[in-house]
């Protein structure tokens, strides 16, 4: 792969000796409390001045390539795989090397059963050096993750649960148990369709290759848009629901507008009910992979099982691509013949919100840039509002001619930083060390060639009962005081613009 | 101005990957895309065409061919006035499936349903591919079961519009007796549906006479 110099930060890795930072370096080198942070003297030396200058210039729109300043300190190719098999040991799916891994399925099956019989408990996790195996037994399906990425067991379990949930969303628990109660050694591959394998591939690639913190944080990404516009949108939804006399009560369970990149734009929901985040992740994945090429002449009627809502039954989704804004309207019902009722609701709603220009407003909502926030030396961040179960992050600023491989490279690098920052503030079971917890994490490496900058990357993870903040600094920044101040500014900025950044209540009926 | 628009509810059935969505895409948007993704669930589309003096609005259910969704099919053909049973002329298996669909429609769908048997992917033969379903065999089935029969190519567009026009002409748009009523302003709606149960036995006049 021949990459353009300007985007790639791993020049060193292409030298004969690939740069490899032992995972120990990825663990927090410093763990300090608030007081220490506040009183740490800020040494304003020359290198910092340079960094500052760089940071300022990076805010300049003529130089949008801030990302090039962030080096990749992680090994290039992570060894990671997901395997899915039946409880009888028959292979269903492998993320990579399908043929090669089939041989191991029998071994895995034997080991798991050994623990069940001998120890009378389920095998959950095996660690060997940097490598970790995680096992999830969801009779009649068994899922195994193998990773050398340094994820916590909990993170691997939640990834496996996501894959399992996908299978349920496609087949439903009832159908699965029906199949396997008849024949335990059923080969599920014969029952799954090509689209299932494609969807599994896509989910695995989201989990392993992309900047997809949704699963890690258990939150949805929200679309930033003007408070008044979102309010109008919700008002239009509520109004339409009261106007629609032909729509019997209970037909519509849930309505959503989803903007590109799976950003939640608005929600219509019954009082006191919300859908589980995992269910929405699955729905968004389906929309993202399957229906991106829709044009506005078609409307879809799709049966989908929401495993966290009801793993045994199917709900039906009316899916329509909205003209003028690349977004998708989803209306969910429990009745399989409700299509025309929902279609009429959708037609009127769309007519309404396109006549008053709201569709264009959705299209215009472009998110925000890191330079919109007065947070010096911060390169990128993720802010999760726990109340909303949603997160926001600045748009990646990319050159127009960025190749898809370069984008993936960049996203994977960001995601690895965030995973490690996240893991530095949570225990292996996924809970935070404390109700409130703040930690700096640092990645260091000398420059291999004198002409290059040494790597000195600083990250911050901050968890409180109200929010979670994860941030990555520009390379070479080491002033924790400045970073802490920037972190506080990001938080107050996010809070100030809360109603713009997050979908609050939605339209409730 | 159209005096009335008649809706025809139409459903597409057939094995996965025979080109159902491509036929609809050709008919509705006059477009084609290689490697179209499989349909999940079902897609609903509409298209208006003029047949003679009459404007017909096709309300099309493009169903998923995947076996898993087969149990949902009755929901789509239950009230349909027309069905396209599609197979791939290079895949004998898809023709067997087509026979099953024709049988099921005759047993389960409404009595007067107009069925068109459609052998798709004609372009593959023209480009040197091997035909696996003989035209005679399909014609024979069509004759026995009283189906319209077409061979089409969604890729080149060949014969696609003819299928829909053929269906539009075969479905009795209106009985002469109703004309008077409509002209005097009764029972005219923008979304009038053809009442099959009444019109099957009545005098059938295809196209025209909408003066």
- Mapped onto helix, strand or coil, the DSSP state of residue B65 is coil
Q: Residues A445-502: pLDDT tens digits?
A: 776 666 667 788 899 999 999 999 999 998 888 889 999 999 999 999 999 999 999 9
Q: How far is CA B206 from the centre of its chain?
A: 16
Residues 6+ apart with CB under 8 A from A119: none
Higher pLDDT, A55 or B81: B81
Q: In angstroms, rounded to a whole number, what is the distance separating the alpha carbons of residues B172 and B206?
A: 6
Contact at CB, A301 and B44, closer than 8 angstroms: yes
Dihedral sign from CA coordinates of A385, A376, A417, A411: positive
Return the ∠ at Cα A350 (arms to A347 and A352), rounded to 5°.
110
Helix (H, G, I), strand (E, B) or coil at A435: coil
Chain A residues whose CB is inside 8 A of the B37 CB are 195, 290, 293
Question: Residue A471's beta-bridge partner residues?
Answer: A381, A460
Q: Identify the band that residue B3 occupies on the pLDDT scale cut at 50, 70 and 90.
A: low
Q: What angle do CA A423, A370, A482 make, to 5 degrees?
A: 70
Q: Is B172 helix (H, G, I), strand (E, B) or coil?
A: coil
Decide if A164 contacts A83 (C-beta within 8 A).
no
Count CB pairs under 8 A between chains A and B.
Answer: 51
Predicted pLDDT at A35: 39
Residues of B in contact with A337 (CB under 8 A): 75
> Which residues lie across from A439 on neighbouring strands?
A461
Give the DSSP H/E element, type plus range, for residue A467. strand A467-473
Q: Report the complex ipTM.
A: 0.80
Q: Average pLDDT, whole number, for chain B?
A: 83
Residue that is written with structure tokens 């037994």 in the block: A137
pLDDT at A154 over 70: yes
pLDDT beyond 60 at A45: no
Per residue in B130-144, pLDDT tens?
A: 999 999 999 999 999
> Over chain A, what is the mean pLDDT?
83
Give the residue on A whose Cα is nearest the Cα of B36. A293
Nearest to A301 among B16, B41, B66 (CB): B41
* Bridging pattern class, strands A254-259 and A328-333: antiparallel
Shortest alpha-carbon distance between residue A94 and chain B (Å): 22
Residue pair A236/A358 in contact by the 8 Å Cβ criterion:
yes
φ/ψ of A75, rounded to 5, equals -55, 150
Q: What pLDDT, in 10s, does the model give residues A335-352?
A: 999 999 999 999 999 999
Nearest Cα neighbor of B97 from B129, B46, B58, B63 is B63
- Whether B28 and A337 lie within 8 Å, measured CB to CB: no
Check CB contact under 8 Å for B44 and A297: no
Structure confidence at residue A53 (pLDDT): 58
Question: How confident is the model at residue A26, as a pLDDT?
Answer: 40
Which tokens belong to A134? 């995680």
CA torsion sign for A266, A269, A274, A276 is negative
A307-321, A426-440, A443-457: least confidently modelled range: A443-457
In the three-class reduction of DSSP (H, G, I as helix; E, B as strand; rest coil), residue A329 is classed as strand
Residue B148: its pLDDT value, please? 97
The length of chain A, given as a count of residues: 509
- Report the Cα–Cα distance between both ends of chain A, in Å, rounded: 53
Nearest CA-CA partner of A146 in A133, A164, A127, A159 = A133
Which of the two residues, A120 and B204, has the higher pLDDT score?
A120
Tokens matching residue A106? 């029998």
In this prediction, residues A17-25 reach a mean pLDDT of 42
**Residue in B closest to A335 by C-alpha:** B75
Query: Residues A348-363: what's their mean pLDDT?
Result: 92
Least Cα separation, residue B59 to chain A (angstroms): 11
Asked whether B82 and B171 are in contact (CB, 8 A), the reply is yes
C-alpha–C-alpha distance, residues A34 and A234, integer Å: 41
* Tally of residues, chain B: 211
- Predicted pLDDT of residue A23: 44
Which pLDDT belongs to residue A31? 39
Evaluate if residue A11 carries a pLDDT over 60.
no
Preferred mutation among B9, B64, B68 to probe A, highest tally of A CBs within 10 A? B68
- Give how far B189 is from chain A: nearest CA, Å: 17
Average pLDDT of the residues in A418-422: 94
| Domains, chain A, with CATH or none | 11-62+367-501 (no CATH), 80-209 (3.30.450.70), 225-365 (3.30.450.30)
Instruction: Spell out which residues of chain A touch residue B74, defining contact as CB-CB under 8 Å.
Output: none
Q: Measured between beta carbons, which residues in chain A are less than 8 angstroms from residue B69?
A: 303
Helix, coil or strand: residue A268: strand
Give the pair of three-digit tokens for residue A407.
């984008």
Structure tokens at A373: 């926030």
What pLDDT, in 10s, does the model give residues A80-133?
899 999 998 899 999 987 777 777 888 888 888 888 887 767 778 888 888 899
Peptide bond into A405 cis (omega under 30): no
What is the reported pLDDT for A164? 97
Contact A395, A368 (CB under 8 A): yes
- Contact list, A288 vs chain B (CB under 8 Å): none
| pTM of model > 0.90 | no
Nearest-CA distance B158 → chain A (Å): 22
pLDDT for B122-180, tens place per residue? 999 989 889 999 999 999 999 999 999 999 999 999 999 999 999 999 987 654 444 43
- Give the residues across from B118 on adjacent strands: B86, B150
Would an 8 Å CB–CB cutoff place B161 in contact with chain A?
no
Residue A329 has phi, psi (to 5 degrees) of -100, 130
Q: Say what the pLDDT of residue A256 is.
A: 95
> What local confidence, expressed as pLDDT, does residue A128 receive?
85
Domain over B5-170 is classified CATH 3.40.50.720: no
Cα–Cα distance for residue pair B140/A271, rounded to 1 Å: 59
Measured CA to CA, the distance from residue A54 to residue A57 in angstroms comes to 5
Residue A89, strand partner residues? none
């Amino acid at each position: 792969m021949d990459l353009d110099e300007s985007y790639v930060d791993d020049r060193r890795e292409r030298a004969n000796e690939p740069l490899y930072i032992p995972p120990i370096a990825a663990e927090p080198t410093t763990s300090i409390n608030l007081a220490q942070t506040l009183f740490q003297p800020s040494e304003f030396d020359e290198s910092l001045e340079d960094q500052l200058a760089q940071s300022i210039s990076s805010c300049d729109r003529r130089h949008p390539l801030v990302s090039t300043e962030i080096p990749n300190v992680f090994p290039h190719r992570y060894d990671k795989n997901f395997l899915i098999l039946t409880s009888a040991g028959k292979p269903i799916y492998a993320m990579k090397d399908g043929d090669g891994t089939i041989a191991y399925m029998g071994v895995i099956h034997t080991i798991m059963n050994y623990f069940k019989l001998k120890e009378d408990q389920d095998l959950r996790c095996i660690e060997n050096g940097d490598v970790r195996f995680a096992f999830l037994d969801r009779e009649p399906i068994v899922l195994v993750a193998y990773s050398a990425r340094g994820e916590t067991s909990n993170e691997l379990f939640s990834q496996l649960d996501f894959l399992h949930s996908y299978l349920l969303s496609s087949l439903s628990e009832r159908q699965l148990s029906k199949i396997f109660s008849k024949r335990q050694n059923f080969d599920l591959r014969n029952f799954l369709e090509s689209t299932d394998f494609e969807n599994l591939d896509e989910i695995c690639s989201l989990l392993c290759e992309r900047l997809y913190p949704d699963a890690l944080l258990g939150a949805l990404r929200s679309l930033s848009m003007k408070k008044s516009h979102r309010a109008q949108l919700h008002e239009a939804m509520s109004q339409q629901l009261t106007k629609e006399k032909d729509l019997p009560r209970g037909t519509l369970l849930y309505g959503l507008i989803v903007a590109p990149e799976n950003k939640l734009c608005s929600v219509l929901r019954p009082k006191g009910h919300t859908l589980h985040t995992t269910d929405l992740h699955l729905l968004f994945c389906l929309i993202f992979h399957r229906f991106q090429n829709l044009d506005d002449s078609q409307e879809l009627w799709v049966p989908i099982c929401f495993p966290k809502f009801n793993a045994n039954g199917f709900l039906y989704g009316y899916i329509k691509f909205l003209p003028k804004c690349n977004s998708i309207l989803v209306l969910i019902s429990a009745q399989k013949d409700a299509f025309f009722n929902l279609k009429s609701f959708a037609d009127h709603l769309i007519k309404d919100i396109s006549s008053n220009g709201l569709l264009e407003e959705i299209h215009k909502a472009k998110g925000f840039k890191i330079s919109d926030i007065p947070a010096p030396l911060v390169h990128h961040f993720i802010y999760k509002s726990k109340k909303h179960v949603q997160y926001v992050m600045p748009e990646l600023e990319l050159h127009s001619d960025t190749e898809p491989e370069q984008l993936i490279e960049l996203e994977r690098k960001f995601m690895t930083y965030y995973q490690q920052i996240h893991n530095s503030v949570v225990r292996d079971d996924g809970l935070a060390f404390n109700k409130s917890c703040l930690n700096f994490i640092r990645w260091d490496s000398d420059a291999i060639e004198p002409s290059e900058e040494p790597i000195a990357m600083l990250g911050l993870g901050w968890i409180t009962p109200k929010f979670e903040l994860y941030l990555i600094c520009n390379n070479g920044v080491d002033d924790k005081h400045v970073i802490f101040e920037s972190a506080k500014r990001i938080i107050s900025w996010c809070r100030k613009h809360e109603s713009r950044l997050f979908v609050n209540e939605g339209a409730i009926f | 101005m159209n005096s009335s628009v008649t809706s025809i509810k139409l459903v597409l059935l057939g094995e996965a990957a025979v080109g159902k969505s491509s036929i609809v895409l050709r008919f509705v948007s006059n477009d084609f895309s290689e490697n179209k993704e499989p349909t999940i669930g079902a897609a609903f589309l509409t298209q208006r065409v003029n047949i003679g003096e009459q404007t017909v609005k096709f309300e099309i259910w493009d169903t998923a061919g995947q076996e898993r969704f087969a149990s949902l099919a009755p929901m789509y053909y239950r009230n349909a006035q027309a069905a396209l049973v599609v197979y791939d002329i290079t895949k004998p298996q898809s023709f067997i499936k087509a026979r099953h669909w024709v049988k099921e429609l005759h047993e389960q769908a409404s009595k007067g349903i107009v069925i068109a048997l459609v052998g798709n992917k004609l372009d593959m033969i023209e480009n040197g591919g091997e035909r696996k379903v003989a035209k005679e065999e399909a014609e024979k089935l069509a004759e026995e079961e009283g189906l319209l029969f077409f061979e089409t190519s969604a890729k080149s567009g060949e014969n696609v519009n003819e299928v829909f026009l053929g269906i539009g002409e075969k479905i009795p748009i209106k009985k002469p007796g109703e004309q008077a009523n409509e002209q005097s302003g009764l029972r005219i709606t923008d979304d009038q549906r053809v009442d099959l149960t009444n019109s099957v036995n009545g005098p059938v006049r295809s196209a025209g006479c909408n003066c």
